[in-house]
Chains A and B, each alone.
Chain A
Amino acid sequence: MSEASSTNLKFDKKPFVLAVTLTLFATVAAALLAFGDAKTRPEIALRLAEDLNAILSQVVPAKLHDNELSKDTLIITGPDGTPVTVYRARQGEHIIGFAYPVTSESGYAGPIELVMGVSAKGEILGVRVLSHTETPGLGDQIEIQKSDWILSFNGLSFANLAPDKWGVKKDGGTFDQFSGATITPRTVVKTVKQGLTFFHDHQSALFAPAPISPTPKSGETTHG
């Protein structure tokens, strides 16, 4: 304040005061948000991990495998160059299936994220929607909570459904569209097909023996 009075020019300090006040507000807001983020981040990570386990158990039935999917992962470079995390299901030593996410190109309102389970023979074990921004009441029929439609993929493979039949009925395929929403199911069908193609394209990488970690805890128990 003394600086303002010491200058010869008449210094209007009002804008300065306003700027400082707003800066203070913004600083306090940022601090609050940082605090809130620090408090909730581990909880949210936990919730997301629970979600992941829950969704993995939906696309690869628990009775088929005896390992923990979220602990047996593999990173494979996907078709567009992005890394895809693959979760492997085993029964004893045998790999019996995989679960991995696939993201669609834009659906009606944005990309749709799916996770799908595929058996070692290339048969779909299950598909679920992780997230989407499709129209509520129309496109959201792809959610298992809203409709059974997503179950129509179960048991399908390129062996029992020719690749050119993977489309909604309107396009000459075998999948139902929804009344009022064709783009959403069309996008999902296309994406699941891409997912199966991914499986067929990466056979060797998918079945590659895991970097062996049979008893990951035995080494750590010494300092426990």
Chain B
Amino acid sequence: MADDTAPERTDYKAITLDGLWDNNVIFSQLLALCPLLAVTSTATNGLGMGLATTVVLVASGLSISLLRSLIPPDVRIPAFVLVIATLVTLVDMAMNAWVHELHKVLGLFIPLIVTNCAILGRAEIFASKKSVAPSTYDGLMMGMGFTAALVVLGAIREVLGSGTLFAGASLLLGNAFKSIEMNIAVYDGMLLFALPPGGFVVLGFVLAGKRVLDQKLKPWRKGQPKQTDAPACHTV
């Protein structure tokens, strides 16, 4: 990552770009495809899942960075999994108690965040090596990048698959957002896109689109170090 900058100087701009674009969990690392395909049948579900995951990413970045000197390297993976699973369970219980309506919509998918290897990946690659502030910020940016990817994919699949956009957003965000729920009157949707295979198809096109865009952007980004290709989820 930003290892070629001066030591102990955190490059927040690089972390931001990394999380949102260059090293985006979905579009570059190709991690977390299971929740991606499961929840992005609508943009609203994608948003809810993305936000819940962001909370966990921020909390795990913070706590693992705090604990990093206490965790022996040999057992770091079980220790990380323990921390992440605890956080997810706490988030699950808190959401059930205090944002019950949202929990009813996302219910099933919250415990699945534990298995999101993007979170373990960030713990291993970033939070276990860096200090608290950049780790927390990295969690936030990775989470926002993940959320953005889920919403983009959910929106495309929802429009193509069911002919609506942000359906059920008021369930998630409250009645003030009733107005962003759209229905494309002339189009009923094509079932394929609401199903996981459609998710793969859309993901393929979006990935190709991002590659093309990256090529076009290259001349303007000469000054910046090219990101190495995504570290695979080799830890799991």
Contacts and interface: CB of A to CB of B under 8 A. Distances in A.
A137 B195 contact: yes
B197 to A, nearest CB: 13
Contact of A138 (B38, B39, B71, B194): B194
Contacts of A138: 191, 194-195
Nearest to B188: A179
A179 B191 contact: yes
B138 to A, nearest CB: 22
A1 B42 CA distance: 57
A216 interface: no
Interface residues of B, number: 32
B89 A36 contact: yes
Contacts of A135: 195
Interface stretch (B13-21, B77-85, B208-216, B220-228): B77-85
A133 B111 CA distance: 14
Given A138-B194, A145-B168, A22 B97 contact: no
B75 interface: yes
Given A44-B97, A137-B161, A26 B41 contact: no
Interface string B37-63: 011011001000000000000000000
Among A17, A26, A33, A40, the one with the most B-chain Cβ atoms within 10 Å of its Cβ is A40
Given A25-B82, A179-B191, A32 B90 contact: yes
Interface string A120-153: 0000000000000101111000000100000000
Is chain A's binding surface mostly helix, strand, loop or mixed?
helix
B86 A137 contact: no
B72 A137 contact: no
B86 A29 contact: yes
A138 B41 CA distance: 10
B79 A40 contact: no
A25 B45 contact: no
A95 B90 CA distance: 44
B10 to A, nearest CB: 27
Contacts of B41: 136-137
Nearest to A29: B86
A149 to B, nearest CB: 16
Contacts of A32: 86, 90
B171 A145 contact: yes
Interface string B82-124: 1101100110011011101000000010000000000000000
Contacts of A17: 72
A37 interface: yes
Nearest to A18: B75
A170 interface: no
A56 B191 CA distance: 34
Contacts of A22: 75, 78-79, 82
Contacts of B100: 44, 47, 51
B74 interface: yes
Contact of A43 (B75, B97, B171, B195): B97
24 contacts: A14-B74, A21-B70, A21-B71, A25-B71, A26-B82, A32-B90, A33-B90, A36-B89, A37-B93, A39-B97, A40-B93, A40-B94, A40-B96, A44-B93, A44-B97, A47-B100, A133-B108, A136-B45, A137-B41, A137-B161, A137-B162, A138-B191, A138-B194, A145-B168
The 7 lowest CB-CB distance pairs between A and B, nearest first, are: A43-B97, A40-B97, A137-B194, A29-B86, A47-B100, A40-B93, A137-B41
Given A18-B75, A36-B90, A47-B96, 5 more contacts: A33-B86, A33-B90, A47-B97, A133-B108, A137-B194
Interface of A: 14, 17-18, 21-22, 25-26, 29, 32-33, 36-37, 39-40, 43-44, 47, 51, 133, 135-138, 145, 179-180
